[in-house]
Amino acid sequence: MTMAFDPKLFEPSPEPEIPPGIDVEAEIERLRRTRNAVILAHYYQAPEIQDIADFVGDSLDLSRKAAATDAEVIAFCGVRFMAEVAKILSPDKTVVLPDARAGCSLEASCPPDEFARFRRAHPDHLAITYINCSAAVKAESDIIVTSSNAEHIIRQIPADQPILFAPDRHLGAYLARRTGREMLLWPGVCIVHERFSEREIVKLKAKYPDAPVAAHPECPESILTLADHVGSTSSILRFAAETPAKTIIVATEPHIIHQMRKVRPDKTFIGAPGADGNCNCNMCPFMAMNSMEKLYVALRDLKPRIEVPEDVRVRAVQPLERMLEMSPKGAPATDLSMIGEHRETVSADSPVG
């Protein structure tokens, strides 16, 4: 099933006009200091944004970072729901998103009023919700999860407790298979991970028989059955670094390959293709809306700001805090020292994913 989305969802904000003579990178550095700002970036951001960030990570890493930072300004280079999480967890801080139009197909496929109706129709179910959703949907949820911690958290729920899972049906189905739990699934999709082509991956595997496939659980089951490793972005990154294989086929948003090449310049990473045999069609159009120029303007003008209505924030913070409490503790770090270029590394209790 392919979902139809409003084409307006894919329209970025216009690129800002930068006055001549401005060195955007130097200005970002200056503003980072003068604004007491921290720049957080997701692995799916463009390489130049990853390279200028104080911290690069997956959704869980970034949530933890947003909750713990003492910076006054958080410049969130990711998509809107991630910046909202930063605002929910750090309400006194100014949170800016370089392009306020940077949404997510999973967020768009789960309108809050429809989700609230779904919940009311299943009052005995615990609502476990993937972090890729709006603040308003989080406010209607019992526990938020990321792909790093979802299985660990679901395994803590008593076996007789019915669960509904939203909004990613592929991640939900994967978790149901992993945990042996039946779950009611919301039918949302990530348009990026849905596009990988089973036929093209089979062709790649034939061409590179020693190359393992690492896939994100937002992919459909037909792709995951071809994978040698399934995990969150941090987990895929770690697998790519640690596997003895010299060539790895990567079935997630291809910008993560930037970090893989930094960690293991001796290895070859191949982005899994879509149906046209090209991996570029799997780039996230929402993550791509951010640019260095928009980041500069966001730090300069302190907008676009992300705001969450206080009544929504107060309800949304509870399932997020439950997530942080129920996440794995003392697991091996996402060892970003091996990733090298980060200004700061993930905390020691970062999950395995």
Residues lying near ligand SF4 in the complex (CB under 6 A) are found at: 44, 79, 104-106, 132, 190-192, 253, 284, 286-287
Among candidate residues 48, 61, 77, 135, the one with its CA nearest the CA of residue 287: 77
CB of 33 to ligand SF4, least distance (A): 29
Nearer to ligand SF4, 109 or 345 (CB): 109
Select 104 or 164, whichever has its Cβ closest to ligand SF4: 104
Rounded to whole angstroms, how far apart are CA atoms 42 and 60?
A: 10
Beta carbon nearer to ligand SF4, 284 or 326: 284
- Shortest Å, Cβ 305 to ligand SF4: 20
Q: What's the min distance (Å) between Cβ of 97 and ligand SF4?
A: 12
From residue 15, alpha-carbon distances to 280, 296, 341 in Å are 21, 11, 28
Integer Cα distance of 219 and 197 in angstroms = 10
Judge whether 74 and 51 are in contact, CB under 8 Å.
no
**Residue 71 or 136 having the CB closest to ligand SF4:** 136
Region for 260 from its dihedrals, namely left if φ exceeds 0, alpha if ψ lies in -120 to 50, beta otherwise: alpha
- Closest approach, Cβ 300 to ligand SF4, in A, equals 25
What is the distance of C-alpha 9 from the center of its chain? 18
Nearer to ligand SF4, 132 or 345 (CB): 132
The smaller minimum CB distance to ligand SF4, of residues 59 and 350, is found at 59
Least CB distance to ligand SF4 at residue 317 (A): 22
- Which 8-state DSSP code applies to residue 14? P
Q: With residue 205 as reference, give the H or E element that holds it.
A: helix 198-207
Cα 51 to Cα 25, 131, 168, 339, 343, distances in angstroms: 11, 25, 30, 12, 9
Instruction: Check if the beta carbon of residue 77 is closer than 8 Å to that of residue 55.
Output: no
CA angle 236, 237, 238 (to 5 degrees): 90
- Tell the burial category of 77 from Cβ atoms under 10 Å away from its Cβ (0-12, 13-18, 19+): buried
Least distance CB 131 / ligand SF4 (angstroms): 10
Q: How far is the CB of 76 from ligand SF4 (least distance, A)?
A: 13
Nearer to ligand SF4, 71 or 320 (CB): 320
